[in-house]
Amino acid sequence: MITVKSQPPVAGENLPITSSNWIAYLSSAQKSCLVENGVRKVHYNLPDGKEMVEEYNLQTNVLQRRMWKVSDTVRGEKWNVEVGDQLPQFDNIDSVGIQENSTAPMLSKRITKTNIEWRIRNLPYARDVYSVTADDDGITVRTSNKKYFKKITVPELNRVGLQTDGSLLSFTHQFNTLIITYKKPPKVLEMEAKVLEMVKTISPTKIPDIKNAPDQCKPS
């Protein structure tokens, strides 16, 4: 009855992994754009019914956040974060039932100009405890004291049809945080530039500037 899918619960897991046609996939979407607070927000209505949101920093043109909308058959919909910090959860523990303790390790992913970075917070163990290795379907983090284990998939590499390369991988540990860095291969850089170019062509929707609006209407 139950079949195991070997995809780990990394942010943004059920992705349309289609290597080189990623750009074609994105450009086939119905896109809308919004510029707000120094962030360019792009919303994709993808032809296969999926919804995705990207946020680009206007200054650096780096992707800050990418989220996918997942509809749960029974309980409505939520957003799965692929890049950027996890959305804050305000649910009461009684309504959730079970959740990780606040001291449990937490993974977040961020993208810089040259690297893809993962931060695992709340990992208090010494640096020599960790081992980070590249394997076929991603990066595996292990601890020799058997306290933490994680398989991380790298969808960016899948989209350009690359395998994880151990020589591009490095990690450091400070302030209870394990930082894993993966240097972007040229193919990924190239793809990102193309996507950015496409995104820039979308003319942003005008939103009324409420703060500096001419004071025609004075609410009493």
Q: Which residues bind another protein (CB under 8 A)?
A: 1-5, 7-9, 13-14, 72-75, 92-105, 142-143, 146-151
What's the token pair of residue 63? 């992707």
Taking the complex as a whole, the smallest distance from the CB of residue 19 to another protein amounts, in Å, to 22
Residue 169: enclosing H or E segment and its boundaries? strand 169-174
CA-based nearest residue to 159, from 89, 63, 61? 63
Closer residue to another protein in complex, CB, 150/159: 150
44: exposed, middle or buried (C-beta count within 10 Å: 0-12, 13-18, 19+)? buried
Taking the complex as a whole, the smallest distance from the CB of residue 133 to another protein amounts, in Å, to 13
Taking the complex as a whole, the smallest distance from the CB of residue 13 to another protein amounts, in Å, to 7
What's the token pair of residue 89? 């959860």
Taking the complex as a whole, the smallest distance from the CB of residue 161 to another protein amounts, in Å, to 23
Taking the complex as a whole, the smallest distance from the CB of residue 49 to another protein amounts, in Å, to 10
Q: Are 49 and 38 in contact (CB under 8 A)?
A: no
Closer residue to another protein in complex, CB, 28/71: 71
Closer residue to another protein in complex, CB, 51/189: 51
Closer residue to another protein in complex, CB, 99/170: 99
Mapping DSSP onto H, E and C, the string for 23-89 reads: HHHHHCCEEEEEEECCEEEEEEECCCCCEEEEEEECCCCCEEEEEEEEEECCCEEEEEEEEECCCCC
Give how far Cα 209 sits from Cα of 41, 80, 206, 212, Å. Answer: 17, 30, 9, 6
Closer residue to another protein in complex, CB, 121/142: 142
